[in-house]
Structure 1
Amino acid sequence: MSEFLQIQRNGGVAVVRMNSPDTRNALSEPSQMQEFVDLCRDLRRDQNIRVMVLTGNGKAFCAGGNIKDMQNREGIFAGSPYELRDTYRNGIQQIPLALYELDIPIIAAVNGPAIGAGLDLACMCDIRIASDKALFAESFVKLGIVPGDGGAWLLPRIIGIPKASLMAFTGDTIDAAKALEWGLVEQVCTPEALESEALALAERIARNPGHALRLCKRLLREGQHMRLDSLLELSAAYQSLAHHTEDHREAVSAFVEKREPNFKDK
């Protein structure tokens, strides 16, 4: 279906696998970045999908940028400073914008190293679970560059400014146990169990009404930069919409009647 992203739909769950194991799923081509944008556009239109799981094929989740291209100033690292600026803005920076605007919850199943842009990609997801083989590094400074894909905004919101500063200023790698301790991931499991654990979590989420999930995620996103009074106004508006859905009435009826609900995303 696509060259870099393999997409599998299982009921209300879309499993997306980055499929370039030879490059450790490095983000090095404009076409890869466009695939993320196209994927998010398609999933926003697909009301049957309620959750997305993102993982990587092979031993790595995502190794970030292609270091050889950096060395040779080729590909996305070619051109003048002005050209490079536009390359970032029109390329990799489209990924956090697309994922941020995707209304359904996103689970990152971090199967191996998530380095540089790979860590930031995991941070673009709502929930992260990791294999005990996973490694994490905000490693840009070691290459004499800065997080160019939103990492300086994303990482502090997950683990706090002090720990994000430590990772960004040293560029050092932490293991899955430390990531769990710091709240970077919510769960650590064996490599063999990672996908089943991610799918089980996705299916738990997907059992809920799709409209409620989408509105809830939007409130969480907007709440990161709104005043409380503004968020309360938005919450009241969203709640009024939710109260008038068929799925809300079905959820209440099922609760009262002590049965499983049958949601229809209406």
Structure 2
Amino acid sequence: MTESVLVTRAGDVTTITLNRPERINAFNVAMHGALRSAIAHAAGDGTRCLVITGAGRGFCAGQDLSDRVSKPGDPPPELGESLDARYNPLIRSLKALPLPVICAVNGIAAGAGANLALACDIVVAARSAAFVQSFCKVGLVPDSGGTWTLPRLVGTARATALMMLGDKVTAEQAAQWGMIWQCVEDEQLLPTALAMAAQLAAQPTRGLALMKKALARSGANTLDAQLDLERDLQAEAGRTHDYSEGVRAFMEKRPPRFEGR
């Protein structure tokens, strides 16, 4: 059986490739488990930047509905249990990962696949890519953090229309709206993502992890609470090896050698 997730390592950068191309990398139980395991491994193996992409003609079509086909008379599926067991832990693990995560979106990113991409720290998409909140087409509510993430990226009016109408957003439009960081030509997708990953991996990644914490709290905090959080995180950052190295390198007029600690 083909592995549902492929993991490669080049230097300090780990690339995770969703690998069910015959199903446009739609989620089934096995792929959920493999992806979460790969993310957890990257958190502890010295990886300094993580790239997530998809095999074949699309990034991820969301949930594989063939996994949920029921017969007449069967009880309805407990979708809340599926979110608790698989999707919610996946999104939480990405947000809590103490290193930067780049998503390289090739082709369609639909439903939970779109929201998986938007949960990453930086999103780069091929010009042929598109994002669609497809939940309305089957009578469901957007999940995988979509109702939290999308309004913060594009505003409530656009997020509401995208979710209720289920319209596609092209990669170019997504970049113009601030939904993603960058739209690039198809052949430049992985080279761009990997070059950016190498740049991030060479940075003080412990500081980037603290930055992620500050950004994650900013939407709910008052200004006073956020100022206090910045104080606490800055105090922690100031005790790191990389801060000391950065100051020494500046004073000595040489490139810094950060270690992520």
TM-score (norm. length: structure 1): 0.90
- Does 2:88 align with 1:73? no
Q: CA deviation at 1:207?
A: 1.5
1:42 aligns with 41
Secondary structure of 2:103 counterpart: strand
Encode CA deviations 1:205-227: one digit per residue, 9 max, x unaligned: 22211211111111111222222
Question: Which secondary structure state, in structure 1, belongs to the residue aligned with residue 63 of structure 2?
Answer: coil
Check if 1:140 corresponds to 2:135: yes
| Structure 2 residue corresponding to 1:249, chosen from 210, 228, 244 | 244
CA change 1:254–1:62 in 2 (3 A) is same
* Residue of structure 2 equivalent to 1:19: 19
Question: Counterparts of 1:194 and 1:213 in 2: how far apart (Å)?
Answer: 23
2:204 to 189, 209, 217: 209
Deviations along 1:63-98, one digit per CA (max 9) or x if unpaired, are 11223344x238xxx974573321221122221121
Output the CA distance in 2 between the equivalents of 1:83 and 1:175: 33
Runs of 4+ deviating beyond 3 Å:
67-70, 78-84
2:59 corresponds to which of 58, 61, 64: 61
Gaps of 5+ in 2: none
Q: How many residues align?
A: 259
Is 1:3 matched up with 2:3?
yes
Q: Give the TM-score normalised by structure 2.
A: 0.92
Residues in 2 aligned to 1:239 and 1:181: alpha-carbon distance in whole angstroms: 32
Q: Which SS does the other structure have where 2:78 is aligned?
A: helix
Within 1, Cα distance between the matches of 2:12 and 2:219?
27
CA deviations on 1:122-154 (whole Å, 9 max, x unpaired) are 111111111011011101101222213221112
Question: Aligned match of 1:153 in 122, 137, 148?
Answer: 148
Distance 2:260 2:117 in 1: 28
Q: Does structure 1 conserve the Cα–Cα contact (< 8 Å) formed by 2:114 and 2:133? A: yes
SS in 2 for 1:17: strand
Are the equivalent residues in 2 in contact too, given 1:62–1:118 (CA < 8 A)? Answer: yes
Query: 1:91 is paired with a residue of what secondary structure?
Result: helix
- Contact kept, 8 Å, 2:131 with 2:169, in 1: the verdict is yes
CA RMSD of aligned residues (A): 2.0
For the 8 Å contact 1:247–1:263, the answer to whether it is kept is yes
What are the ranges of 5 or more consecutive residues in structure 1 without an aligned counterpart? none
CA distance in 2: counterparts of 1:139 and 1:26, whole angstroms: 13
Q: Percent identity?
A: 36
**CA shift for structure 1 position 231:** 2.1
| Residues 150, 159 of structure 2: 8 Å contact kept | yes
Equivalent pair of 1:33/1:94 in contact (CA under 8 Å): no
Q: Name the structure 2 match of 1:174.
A: 169
Kept in 2, the 8 Å contact 1:36–1:98? The answer is no
Question: 1:110–1:122: 8 Å Cα contact kept in structure 2?
Answer: yes
Q: Matched residues in 2 for 1:79 and 1:149: separation? A: 26
Residues of 1 paired with 2:89 and 2:188: CA distance?
Answer: 32
Is 1:119–1:138's contact at 8 Å kept on the other side of the alignment? yes
Which residue number corresponds to residue 119 of structure 2? 124
